[in-house]
Structures are given as structure tokens and as C-alpha cells.
Amino acid sequence: MDFQAFFLILATLSLDYLVATASVPALFAFGDSLVDAGDNEHLNTQARANHPPYGIDFENHQATGRFSNGCLVVDLIASYLGLPYPPAYYGTKNFQQGANFGSASSGVLPNTHTQGAQTLPQQVDDFQSMASQLQQQLGSNESSSLVSQSIFYICIGNNDVNNEFEQRKNLSTDFLQSVLDGVMEQMHRLYEMGARKFVVVGLSAVGCIPLNVQRDGSCAPVAQAAASSYNTMLRSALDEMSSTHQGIHIVLTNFYDLMVDTNTNPQQFGFEESTRACCEMGSRVLNCNDGVNICPDRSKYAFWDGVHQTEAFNKIAAARWWNGTSSDVHPFSIGELAAL
């Protein structure tokens, strides 16, 4: 059975209805290398995916700055919404259908990012500047309406937690709280700027990435425990924000469990390999360099390099988050958020 095709069918069962009733004019994305669509190409940083074999399965087989062989989850969510892929903020002047502020190697905390990458607060600063441009282009009423009806997609914190794990092999509750406080502060800023619809991607199973898996293929327990604790804290904070902020709607996606399930039972998802990267030299390092050997069938691998997933995995994640159950999304799906 083609399990990847099965998950896509599930996602499209109510897709026509949801897209037809959705009033989502734009998608704005914030985050790290799981989101970056090319912003780092315009920044003074070496955290870039601007060379082959990155993008080998993307449009025109082009390396665009995306850390994958093909589409990112946020690209696929945009397609479900009937929108174009959110363009890299620094590479476009037309923001009326969205923009991608994601910056590879970035984090929430100021000391997480690689030099030159944009932290989450800086990305929100960029959105604030963009919102001013929209107001000048569209007028106050129309620009406010666009922002309030748009979806704000946030995927951040993975580098904060992973870097702390790599450096200290220990992650305290105080550290996790500092990351969470930073995320919530920026969400409050976006809310004050008119954002009302949020998708927050839960922290990944950082102990399960090829960079961190143990020799037997199991996930690193310390990193896993920290990621699980953070996600519990995040869910509580988002529930509180939902109950105290008028007109807000927040979807929390379950990235962690999907990665754990893929690690322990890859065949269930149509994968043959879930602990090693498709890019052979990428399993124990971040990047996949030009000229190295890559797996011939990317659809059978969950990971493209030592940190980032393949397009095949991303399609499964997008499908489950768009139209999934309570084990995938909380308190409802992205498709339901789009229809509000």
C-alpha cells in the first residue's frame, strides 16, 4: 500500500469545501531552517542551502535556499490554502499574498543564531516594517483586514533546544521557559499588530534527527525529554492565550509524535529509512554538499540531511496538520482554522 498517497487522500477529503469557504488572503511564515525559503541568501550568513543537491526535486530542480530536496511543510500548507508558496521576504516586494521571514540557523534567544541569521524578534520586526508598507499600499482598513484574516505560521525553538543539548547535554526547565517566554512575547507583538489566526508548530523530536540519534537508531533520551516538556509548556501557554485574547484562534501541530512514530515504525509511513539521511555525508552534519552521493529514491527516506526532512515526510506532515485528528493538531486542524 502507498502510505504516503493514503495520507494525501485523507487531507483532500474536505479540501474543496475548506478552500471554497476559506477567507485566508495571505500566509506569513516565521522560523528557522524548517521554514527558510531563501531569506538567508540575502543575509551575511553561511547558513545557506543555495547549492545542489538541495532542491533536486523542487521546481526546475533548483536550489532556492530551502533545506530539503523539495517543498517545505509551509509551502504545502500554502497550496492547500490556494495560495502561492510564501516568498522569501528579502527577495520580494509583493506581500499581499504572504511572505516568508524564516531564517536558517535562527532561534528565539539572541545567542542561538549563527552570525547574520535573523532571530524570531528580528523576523517580527521585519513583519512590522512590511505591515507599514501594506498600509501605505492598501490603506488602513484594507491592510488591517488582510492581516486579521491571514494565517501566521511559526516554527521556531528547535535550534535553541538542540544547541543547548549539543553544548551541555542537559536542558533545564528554566532554559525551556526562557525559550517559551520569547515565543509568547513575539506572538503578543503580532497580535497587537492585528494577527488573529496562528499555526504554531510544536517542537520537533530533536533527539530523533540523524545528527542526534544513538548508534542503535533510537532517539537521544535527554533531548527527547526536554522537547516533550517544552511542548507541554507550549500547549498550556497557547491555551491560556486563546482564552484571554479576543478573536484569536491558534492551532498547535504535533511535530514531535509524528517524528517519533516515523523513527520507530517507518514502514507505516511508506519509508524504508528513518534514522539516516538520504544525503550520505549529511547524517552526522547539517549540510549536504554538492557532488556527494544521495539516495536514489528520496520518497523512501524521512530525512534529507542530518537535521531536515525530505519532501516525502513534509507531505505527510502537511496532510495530517491540514485535516488531522486530535493526535495531530490541537484544538482543531489548519483546514478548520482556514474556514473560520
Residue positions annotated with a catalytic role: 33, 305, 308
Beta bridge mates, 251: 199
Q: Could you tell me the maximum CA-CA distance found in the chain, to the nearest angstrom?
A: 58
3-state secondary structure of 250: strand
3-state secondary structure of 280: helix
How do strand 249-253 and strand 27-31 relate by DSSP bridges? unpaired
Distance CA 36, CA 48 (A): 9
Q: 48-76 burial, b for 16+ CB within 10 Å, e for fewer?
A: bbeebbbbbbbeeeebbbbbbbbbbbbbb
The continuous run of DSSP H or E covering 330 comes out as: strand 329-330
Distance CA 10, CA 13 (A): 5
- CA distances to 22, 105, 184, 196, 201 from 242, in Å: 21, 29, 12, 10, 16
C-alpha closest to that of 339 among 22, 80, 78, 15: 22
Query: Which 8-state DSSP code applies to residue 28?
Result: E
- CA distances to 92, 110, 120, 273 from 102, in Å: 14, 15, 8, 28
Q: If you write DSSP's letter for every residue of 87-102 in order, what string do you get?
A: PBGGG-S--TTEEE--
- Is the Cβ–Cβ distance between 34 and 47 less than 8 Å? no
Q: Any idea which residue has 520569547 for its cell?
A: 182
Distance CA 260, CA 205 (A): 7
Distance CA 298, CA 57 (A): 9
